[in-house]
Structure 1
Amino acid sequence: MKSFEEVELCFPELLNSSCRKAVRPHSVSMLTYILLCSISLLTVTLNLLVIISISHFKQLHTSTNILLLSLAVSDFFVGFLMFFPIVLIEGCWLLGDLMCSLYSVLTFTITSTSVGTMVLISVDRYVAICDPLHYPNKVTQKRVKICVCLCWICSAFLQSLLLKDNLEQPGRYSSCFGECVVVIDYFAGRANLFLTFFGPVTVIIVLYMRVFVVAVSHARAMRSHTAAFSLKSSVSVTANKSELKAARTLGVVVVVFLVCLCPYYCISLTGQDTLLNTSTIAFIICLFYFNSCLNPVIYAFFYPWFRKSIRLIVTLKILQPGSCDTNML
């Protein structure tokens, strides 16, 4: 057993008031640093490409893409905030109690906003597939922008209210210097889980089940038609195919989102984290963060406009006059 002098402290000058560092092999620490930094950098870079693409090119300023922009912004901040947990690899929070509380509020807000944006995406696809004739009138860019703003504002307000005690007295629940601890009232925490995750997820699943049923019926109807279409019908069929493709792509995004986040929230709800080993918990948290890196990869596979915009951004052609009017579709 190590003597007191041999124990590594987060703040050696504070002696008994300092937390102890987590002792692990140097190779393991370096590998963890490299892995987390790589995921964080990749997440920030890929989502920044999505943000630039949708913001710059006018042809991409559609209602659906505004929702993707909101999701990309939240994923960008997830990647940026991942740099903060990296400093906790050795078990020490070196940024102070106030930053700990602010970091917690930001993390909760961004996660809540991502879930809210997924609900909006599901509603968008539901209206587009199930009520296509009224979609242009019901889902306008102005309405979508208002919904996105309300999503961010409500998430920030709700999470600030939830962590009010931690913000008013930062570090009140820390047992030593170098610890980042936030405590949430049990009933408030459970209510927050249902309001910001399980409730929205139920809505997402119900809407996409309906979208799936209607999409299948549309696909069968299109296959059963003969080639003797009028021009108007042909345009309608093309539009339906486009909406079905968008629904499929965003469906993949939603499924990946649920797969990555459900384990984390299920453990939070059941409180079984004490029964899991450190490696399992680390994997679940990494899976939670890695979802933000996967969304742009999905766009690259399914959206030709995203691949084209990446080429234009990397080659700096977006700096040319009139590049915002480039045909992307």
Structure 2
Amino acid sequence: MMEAAELCFPQLNSSCVKPTRPPADAMLVYVLLSAICIVTVVLNLLVIVSISHFRQLHTPTNLLLLSLAASDLLVGVVLMPVEILYIESCWFLGDAVCTLYYVADYVITSASVANMVLISLDRYVAICDPLRYPARATKRAARAGVCLSWLGSLFYRVALLNGHLRNPGASVSCLGECVVVIGYVAALVDLVFSFILPVAVIVVLYLRVFVVAVSQARALRSQVAIVAAAQRPGAIAARKSEMKAAGTLGLVIAVFLFCFCPYYAPTLAGEETSVDASSADFEIWLAHFNSCLNPVIYAFFYPWFRKSIKHIVTLKVLKPGSRDVKVL
């Protein structure tokens, strides 16, 4: 006979059993996940403040990075705390809030994927069609792309979870649980449109970028060896900068794929996708951990981000004219 103290709602027989872990394991999980959450929020805030504050960083590419950082920040502010809170607790906020939580989760995730596609397209045009890049990659185009990615993610996810929105708690098997189960057909559709197609586009674009970047690197080495190269050091430096940026953003894409592949593994195996807010599933946290890794990559590979952090931490951003400081 199950003790009442082990139930989320002791007075109800339909109550779920409270999640339990050994105290030492629970404390370790809390500390680790809380640290990841804090680092995610702080680093992405630094990215957002940097790009928003310094005028020199107001470029189309950085607007896309700003959108990506915003989605990563929402992961750290909205999604991670809920999952940490309910590791050793039951869900007491009701089925409607549970469903809305998962809508937010999926919208943020879809927006991140869309941002990755836009970033890949931006790098593709910058490397493969540099003469037309200034005309095509404008701030207006970047803003339009960002708006479409977020609105498209919202409408797509609402349509996908329409059944759960109409009937909150349809997947809940007992009181005190917050879980959404997506049928295999819907999960397969989601796999195709949220992962396979975007990944295919990203991989094709970056393969093309890689081939062109290698050929351009060889051309640059040839140009440096001749006198004409000395007369155009700025152009050569600009091309090197573009290729370095492509490499860094390529690493961001690679980390994204590594973090999200396990999440879609059940669908690839022909299983239903079940997401539970009351558990710290490895696949979910690995996908969310990507939001922490992105700004870490920026810190290591983008000098402008390191310079911006110094200005922010030392409060130099509060001084008059700090928006015009050169960080590139």
TM-score of the aligned structures, taking structure 1 as reference length:
0.92
Which range is displaced more, 234-243 or 309-318? 234-243
Question: How far 1:90 moved relative to its partner?
Answer: 2.5
Task: Give the whole-Å Cα distance in 1 for the aligned partners of 2:318 and 2:174.
Answer: 51
Quote the residue 1:123 is aligned against. 121
Structure 2 residue 256 is matched with structure 1 residue 257: yes
Number of residue pairs matched by the alignment = 320
Structure 2 residue 227 is matched with structure 1 residue 209: no
CA contact (8 A) 2:95 2:178 kept: yes
Structure 2 residue 303 is matched with structure 1 residue 304: yes
Structure 2 residue 283 is matched with structure 1 residue 284: yes
Question: How far 1:271 moved relative to its partner?
Answer: 4.1
Question: How far 1:289 moved relative to its partner?
Answer: 1.4
Task: Give the whole-Å Cα distance in 2 for the aligned partners of 1:271 and 1:133.
Answer: 46
Task: Give the whole-Å Cα distance in 1 for the aligned partners of 2:47 and 2:206.
Answer: 24
CA contact (8 A) 2:183 2:272 kept: no
Aligned AA (1:147): G
Task: Give the whole-Å Cα distance in 2 for the aligned partners of 1:7 and 1:202.
Answer: 50
Quote the residue 2:217 is aligned against. 219
Runs of 5+ consecutive residues of structure 1 not aligned to the other structure: 275-280
Quote the residue 1:278 is aligned against. none
Task: Give the whole-Å Cα distance in 1 for the aligned partners of 2:106 and 2:126.
Answer: 30
Task: Give the whole-Å Cα distance in 1 for the aligned partners of 2:203 and 2:214.
Answer: 16
CA contact (8 A) 2:252 2:297 kept: yes
Task: Give the whole-Å Cα distance in 2 for the aligned partners of 1:162 and 1:6.
Answer: 37
Q: Percent identity?
A: 58
Calculate the aligned-residue CA RMSD, in Å: 1.8
CA contact (8 A) 1:166 1:183 kept: no
Aligned AA (2:136): K
Quote the residue 1:58 is aligned against. 55
Quote the residue 1:175 is aligned against. 173
Aligned AA (1:11): F
CA contact (8 A) 2:110 2:153 kept: yes
Task: Considering Cα pairs closer than 8 Å and 6+ residues apart, tell me whether 1 or 2 has the greater RCO.
Answer: 2
Which secondary structure does the structure 2 equivalent of 1:16 belong to? coil
Q: Residues 139-195 of structure 1, C-alpha deviation per residue, up to 9 Å, x if partnerless?
A: 111011001100000001100111112112222332221111223343222112111
Q: Residues 87-130 of structure 1, C-alpha deviation per residue, up to 9 Å, x if partnerless?
A: 33136222221111011001111111111111100100000000
Which secondary structure does the structure 2 equivalent of 1:17 belong to? coil
CA contact (8 A) 1:122 1:204 kept: yes
CA contact (8 A) 2:68 2:112 kept: yes
Structure 2 residue 46 is matched with structure 1 residue 78: no
Which range is displaced more, 129-138 or 78-87? 78-87
Quote the residue 1:29 is aligned against. 26
Q: Which runs of 4+ in 1 moved over 6 A?
A: none
Quote the residue 1:109 is aligned against. 107
Which secondary structure does the structure 1 equivalent of 2:261 belong to? helix
